Amino acid sequence: MVGRFIPSKFRWSALAAVLLAAGFWNQTHPLSGVLLAQQPSERQPLILDRPPVRLLSDPNPVFRAVAIDTEAGEVFMANDKESSGASILVYPTQFAPTDRIMEPRRRIAGPNTDMGMVCGLALSPQHGELYSVSGETGTLNVFSLRANGDVPPVRRLDGIIPRANAGVYLDAANDELWITTEHVNRLSAYRRTFEEDDEPLRFIQGPNTQLADPHGVYVDSEANEVYVSNHGNWRETQTGEGEVRGGDSLTRSSLGYNVPGRVLPLGPSTGRFLPASITVFSRTANGDAEPVRVIQGPRTLLDQPDGITQDPVTGEIIVANTGNDSVLFFAKDANGDVPPVRVLQGPLTKLGGPVGVSIDAKNNELWVANWDNHIAAVFPRTARGDMAPLRVIRTAAENAPLASMGRIGAVAYDAKRDEILVPN
């Protein structure tokens, strides 16, 4: 048992000098149980400052989302793995196949970028802009397409936008940015040219929308339809819920613990588990709107669907199906419990936790960002079945452990098994 320092036995001037020296010493010496009196007080805390004896983490970036600048021949990848330093990594779209770890051409990362857990990307070659959203914050950042290093966003949407976004898509034809917000089952549209505290042009949210833990978003501007992938975790949300309006916020939702808002009365719970789905809305829908179509049911094979896009040639809807390591392709007008027209899946594909999909129309290629195995895989646009990718970008050696921990929510110790449990 460690004894206690008794400040009353010393002159304060001498004590201050001792404390400063001891403070410096304590920062640099790994001796446990050293006591430092900190300030005059009824209690002098026992200072336990020492380094960790072990540290568990994966230092390798993962690929969370993918967006392609076909004209510049560059592919942008979101890396939300904070233990590797959250970043946007930029690679060439064309390169000689290699199994070696590939260094990015550019890397946007650092405290000035305000990157957060970057999980959604979109870009505009026409305007030279790159758009990112974070699963942690309620912001949308805009960077130059040529940005590199620790650079601040050139613009930032930071107004009433709910916290914890998932996907972002630029509808270039209508000059609108679309964002999904996972925590409050919401789909919002903003002017591409937004100012910092802009209100959305429109948003879809409420019990009739069937939005349930939404992730990816894609806009078919020709058909005037918006596609959203949903994991299926559902609760009844109120239209406008999650908007950050200080003490007048509709609720304390969004899991923003320190965000003020009205306290809800105790009342019946509304939560349910719905089958995973793709909900399709009119692009001009607003409020508690019903979807015009819903792709949902066991024949769809949807299982934790995430990133979503469209094949520019066939019009097929392409979905990164995280739950069973596949990419699903649906007919453009698919509705109800219908099977995909194509499935890309199998050990040769190297798909492992696919979360992002994008088409390189110039090179007729399909890109798939995989979270679990640190791989971005490139396939022919018409790929199907169990086929090997044309080439991959990897951020970890092939025999490296799979990425498992993300932003962890807790840690628990199981004494029976002498194990620790770490949920994301």
Partner 1 sequence: MSQPRISVYASSADGNAVPTRVIQGSRTRQARTSHYVSIDPIRDEFAVPNPFAQAILFFRGGADGNEAPLRTLQGPKTLLNQPDNVAVDPVHGEAFVAQFTTDSILVFPNTADGDVAPIRILHGPHTKLDGPIRVEVDPENDLMAVTTRDAVVFFNRTDEGDATPKWVLSGPKTGLGFSRITRDVKLYPKGKKIIAAARIRGRLPGPPGVEPFGDGHFIGVWQYGDNGDVEPWAVLRATPYTELMGRRLAFNEKTGDLFVGGDGIVQIYNLPEIFEAE
What residues from 383 to 412 belong to the interface with partner 1 (CB under 8 A)? 400-402, 404-412
Q: Please, what's the largest Cα pairwise distance for the chain?
A: 84
- Supply the DSSP symbol for 371: T
Stretch of residues binding partner 1 (CB under 8 A), selected from 79-87, 155-163, 282-290, 310-318: 79-87
Q: Judged by CB under 8 A, does residue 101 bind partner 1?
A: no
Q: Judged by CB under 8 A, does residue 43 bind partner 1?
A: yes
Q: Judged by CB under 8 A, does residue 66 bind partner 1?
A: no
Burial 17-28 (b: 16+ CB within 10 A, else e): eebeebeeebee
Contacting partner 1 within 341-360 (CB under 8 A): 353, 355
Q: How far is the CB of 13 from partner 1 (least distance, A)?
A: 13
Closest to partner 1 by CB, 21 or 361? 21
Q: How far is the CB of 178 from partner 1 (least distance, A)?
A: 17
Closest to partner 1 by CB, 220 or 303? 303
Alpha carbon separation from 381 to 86, 213, 355 (Å, rounded): 29, 28, 17
Residues 55, 96, 100, 347: which binds partner 1 (CB under 8 A)?
Answer: 55
Rg of the chain in Å (alpha carbons): 25
Alpha carbon separation from 101 to 67, 396, 421 (Å, rounded): 20, 6, 30
CA distance 315 to 313: 6
Residues 88, 132, 135, 137: which binds partner 1 (CB under 8 A)?
Answer: 135
CA distance 373 to 356: 13
Residues 162, 232, 340, 356: which binds partner 1 (CB under 8 A)?
Answer: 232
β-pair type (225-230, 214-220): antiparallel
Closest to partner 1 by CB, 191 or 235? 235
Partner residues linked to 107 by β-bridges: 89
Q: Judged by CB under 8 A, does residue 13 bind partner 1?
A: no
In terms of Cβ atoms closer than 10 Å to its own Cβ (0-12, 13-18, 19+), residue 349 is buried
Residues 46, 154, 173, 348: which binds partner 1 (CB under 8 A)?
Answer: 46
* Residue window 272-311: x/- pattern of binding to partner 1, with contact defined by CB under 8 A: xx--x--------------------------xx-------
Residues 6, 14, 31, 32: which binds partner 1 (CB under 8 A)?
Answer: 32
